[in-house]
Structure 1
Amino acid sequence: MTKSLTKFTKLSNGVEMPTVGFGTWQIPLNENFKSTIQTAIQLGYRHFDTAQIYNNSVLMGEAIRESGIPRSEFFITSKVWASHRSYESAKEAFEQVRTQLQLDYLDLLLIHWPASQGEPMVWQAQNAGTWRAFEELYKDGLVRAIGVANFLPHHLVPLLARAKITPMVNQLECHPGYTQAAAVRFSEERGMRVQAWSPLGRGALIRHPHLLRIAEAHGVTTAQVALRWAVQNGLMPIPKATELQHQRENLDIFDFELTPEEVDELTRLPQAAFSGLHPDTVTF
């Protein structure tokens, strides 16, 4: 059994999700996509993160079915894109993704990005309408957990004021050099678990001198240091990897521990490897 299969994070509603997931953003949609996913499954990954905008749900669903592993062992996350920011269109987006995946239910459904620009009353109403659809999907048993992505405190406050169900997850860009401490703290204080997307800073942290030094001290890779930092901070990282060795290394992060001093050093790094994607300035 792969070590990470025994590592789970419990959400506020009691649902357990594998702490380390597998990100599928920007994995090329070619003849190698399914083999990449199937290799990850063989290594022990069970939590896969996809999204409406990634356009890979059909291939993702095929890889899951062809694995021969029961559906119940997988934890599948998808996200509704910015083109579907309303009650009706959010439900349409969910049905589109579920049909493409050919699954009876999703384990986690997220609003991919908050509506956040223009007149506040308008974008707040858009987020609220989308969330109302999510709450109904959850109550109907079509999703096991619901949440948001890229929501900062000023997006969450008006959402929570109208919500009947508090989001269980907030997925944020989060890594050494871009910790989003205020958003993480705000989310956790309200019972949301934080998933870390781009936990390796889109690969830019692999050569960072601070991580190189710490990795050498532990006899591990810099990627493992960044992922271990996330886990020790209570985050759930979803790294992407297409090479077998990197997929294996990204799972193998539970046999060592960073010292409190090392965690603090990485937490205090000056801004580095930020994607540039901020929810208040993106153009989608």
Structure 2
Amino acid sequence: MDRSKIPTVPLSSGHHIPLLGLGMSHSGGYSHNALLYALTKCGIRHIDTAKRYGNEVMVGKAICESGVKREELWLTTKLWPGDYGYENAIQSCLDSCKRLGVDYLDLYLMHWPDAHVPGKSAREARAETWQALEELHEKGICRSIGVSNFLIHHLDQLKEDCYVVPHLNQVEYHPFQKPQELVDYCRRNNIVFGGYCPLAKGQALNHPTIQKIAKNYGKTPAQICIRWSIQNGVVTIPKSTKEERIQENCEVFGFVLTDEDVLTLNSLHDGRHVSWDPSNIL
């Protein structure tokens, strides 16, 4: 697939993030050959990883081997709560850059709203950490900065405590977990909404409604879920370690779901989480 066919959306940082990316993960979530295939054969330019996943070095190696120019890539990684705090966050970001073999990150995210910094509340630790990210952004080491798994009250607190509103909030998003109130809040505050687990860790692939819609379009259930997410304006990062699945997941720009089918898929929301649930984090 020609990478120029993957649309981008503007962030308030002034940069444009590709609507579709390839996510890494920590549990069997890395395949060197699959990442190389995504970069060289599928036109993927948006790679999403994290320190927690333990594969930043290998991602950097794949990028180098792919021959893709750094300026053509969108590289996101994340700061783990064990590294929260001002000085820790600065150092952790620089360490991630070193492991990835890059001079800057396109997007750096606080991975989770909870924090365990001695003598500080979670809110205080988030604010101190975010101030570090603001400095990294100001210096150009992180061209955009954001958060992951943050809910409305976490975002409200950051707005009160800090200066830069997050450029993106990355949250679990699939037909069974469609947090519309959070989506609406982000849009009102010029925060781009990113979604992970678009296939609900495979649960969506066997749902009869999704299968029926897929059959009507001559597409796979995975393609329907990813297309639905993208049509809802969500930056979507499916994960796969299989070359044929990555190819399949990229072939979602040649068709459009009808408004009726989008509404049908919207109606499948039942509030279930297939990943972390941040609801109880103060």
Give the letter for the 2:112 counterpart. W
Contact 2:177 2:271 in 1 (8 A): yes
Extract unaligned runs of 5+ from structure 2: none
Q: Distance in 1 between matches of 2:181 and 2:200?
A: 19
Contact 1:3 1:254 in 2 (8 A): no
Q: Within the alignment, does 1:22 sit opposite 2:22 as a pair?
A: yes
Q: Distance in 1 between matches of 2:69 and 2:199?
A: 30
CA RMSD, 1 decimal: 1.9
The answer for the alignment partner of 1:202 in structure 2 is: 201
* CA pair 100-246 structure 1, distance change in 2 beyond 3 A: same
Output one character per residue of 1:131-165: Cα deviation in whole Å (capped at 9) or x when no partner: 00000000001011000000000111111112211
Q: Distance in 2 between matches of 1:219 and 1:227?
A: 15
Give the letter for the 2:114 counterpart. A
Deviating more after overlay: 5-14 vs 36-45: 5-14
Q: Within the alignment, does 1:251 sit opposite 2:222 as a pair?
A: no
Q: Distance in 2 between matches of 1:233 and 1:270?
A: 14
Contact 2:3 2:44 in 1 (8 A): no
TM-score normalised over the length of structure 1: 0.93
The answer for the alignment partner of 2:9 in structure 1 is: 9
Q: Within the alignment, does 1:36 sit opposite 2:34 as a pair?
A: yes
Tell me the number of residue pairs that the alignment of Structure 1 and Structure 2 aligns.
278
Contact 2:37 2:243 in 1 (8 A): yes
The answer for the alignment partner of 2:137 in structure 1 is: 138
- Using the TM superposition, give the Cα deviation of residue 13 of structure 1 relative to its aligned residue in structure 2, in angstroms: 2.2
Identity of aligned residues (%): 36
What's the secondary structure of 1:113's corresponding residue? coil
- Using the TM superposition, give the Cα deviation of residue 2 of structure 1 relative to its aligned residue in structure 2, in angstroms: 2.0
Contact 1:49 1:77 in 2 (8 A): yes
Q: Distance in 1 between matches of 2:27 and 2:39?
A: 15
Q: Distance in 1 between matches of 2:93 and 2:77?
A: 9
Contact 1:23 1:239 in 2 (8 A): yes
Contact 1:3 1:252 in 2 (8 A): no
Q: Within the alignment, does 1:223 sit opposite 2:222 as a pair?
A: yes
* CA pair 160-192 structure 1, distance change in 2 beyond 3 A: same
Q: Distance in 1 between matches of 2:32 and 2:280?
A: 34
Extract unaligned runs of 5+ from structure 1: none
The answer for the alignment partner of 1:193 in structure 2 is: 192
Give the letter for the 1:34 counterpart. H
Contact 1:90 1:133 in 2 (8 A): yes
* CA pair 51-128 structure 1, distance change in 2 beyond 3 A: same
- Using the TM superposition, give the Cα deviation of residue 248 of structure 1 relative to its aligned residue in structure 2, in angstroms: 0.9
What's the secondary structure of 1:175's corresponding residue? coil
